[in-house]
A and B are shown apart, each in its own frame.
Chain A
Amino acid sequence: MEYKLRKAEPRDVSDILRLVKELAKYEEMEDQVTLTEKELLEDGFGDTPFYHCIIAELQGKNSSDDGKVVGFVMYYFTYDPWVGKQLYLEEFYVMDEYRGMGIGSGLLRHLSDLAMNTRCTGMMFVVAENNEPSIQFYKLRGAEDLSQEEGWRLFRFSKNSLVKMGTPVEE
């Protein structure tokens, strides 16, 4: 089955949200997805996008699957003050029934190429430690586990604690 990769357009936001929810379900975190199509539209296609997406779309000549969105990557640019620009891979997913066809590898290759063309020195992402297939997939391709090898821990302030922390203290 043929597929093509292209930059996401505003019309893709419902497919993007569908795939985000499918991946969250796979990670048993479906109820954590609070993002809406409206937010995806504003945040990805406004004056200053917070994220970018590459879509994998099927190309079957007379097939009912033609034009179906079956995979995507969501990414943005970050900065490491030691080595400069990085590309951050936020989300990477191919629908279960379309795996094993090279779509995942194709998306990753496209993104790595983009990282190099935009002078990023690295591509960063997180993986859940119990997600063995994914960890193997990435390690096979030369990714380093910075948490394991260098002791980096990801920390987060969620909305409530962020608001508390951001409230100026009365002098």
Chain B
Amino acid sequence: MDFSIRAANVEDCKDIARMILELAEYEKVADHVKVTQRDLEQDGFSKNPFFHGIVAEVPEQHKAKEGHTKIGYALYFYSYSSWSGRAVYMEDLYVMPEFRGKGIGKALMSKVAQLGLAAGCNQLNFTVLDWNKPSLDFYLSQGSFDVTADMGYHCMRCEGEALEHLAQP
């Protein structure tokens, strides 16, 4: 299938917001999504963006059942390893179900890798849910390793009241 990958622009935020919700639904946590299209526009496309995006598009004749031509995306940002320096973090990777199995996910991830390498990064990090077997298998087959399993690293978060409490003198 014919598809193209390109950098996201502010006009893509409507479709990105739609697909973020689709991914959250797949992960069974759609009610966790609080970020809006407007937030994405401000946070990703202002002078100091907090993330970058790439979008996968198909031509009109291959558009999705609901009429979308933007059928996949990846969100990433630069991070840092105190051991090895510059790193890139892939926050989201998603392809709409009817467009899977055509190499689009792989192409999106490859693009993030290329962009990261061009920026001098030494590693690409991301998280996967432990029940998401198709994704776990895909990522392992591409040469990544499970840091949580191999090195015992657990992802932790401090938010809401706990964060406010920590911040008090």
> A-B pairs with CB below 8 Å: how many?
248
Q: Report the contact-size class of chain B (Cβ under 8 Å from the partner).
A: 35 or more
Per-residue CB proximity of A146-158 to B under 8 Å, as 1/0? Answer: 1110111111111
Instruction: Known A83-B35, A90-B80, A156-B125; judge A141-B155 contact (CB<8 A).
Output: no
Does A80 belong to the interface (CB within 8 Å)?
Answer: yes
Does A98 belong to the interface (CB within 8 Å)?
Answer: no
A residues adjacent to B (C-beta < 8 A): 20, 23-24, 29, 32-35, 39, 43, 50-51, 74, 76-86, 88, 90-91, 108-109, 112-113, 115-116, 121-130, 135, 138, 141-148, 150-159, 161-169
B129 with A150: CB separation less than 8 A: yes
Does B75 belong to the interface (CB within 8 Å)?
Answer: yes
Does B65 belong to the interface (CB within 8 Å)?
Answer: no
A153 with B158: CB separation less than 8 A: no
A153 with B148: CB separation less than 8 A: yes
Instruction: Known A78-B77, A81-B75; judge A144-B156 contact (CB<8 A).
Output: yes
Contacts of A130 in B (CB 8 A): 152
Contacts of B143 in A (CB 8 A): 157, 161, 164-165
Contacts of B152 in A (CB 8 A): 128-130
The docked-state distance in angstroms from the alpha carbon of A79 to that of B143 is 25
Does B41 belong to the interface (CB within 8 Å)?
Answer: no
Does B50 belong to the interface (CB within 8 Å)?
Answer: yes
Q: How far is the CB of B142 from chain A (nearest CB, A)?
A: 6
The docked-state distance in angstroms from the alpha carbon of A129 to that of B120 is 30
- Given contacts A112-B166, A155-B145, 7 further A-B pairs with CB under 8 A are A79-B50, A123-B157, A128-B154, A142-B162, A147-B153, A157-B113, A157-B142
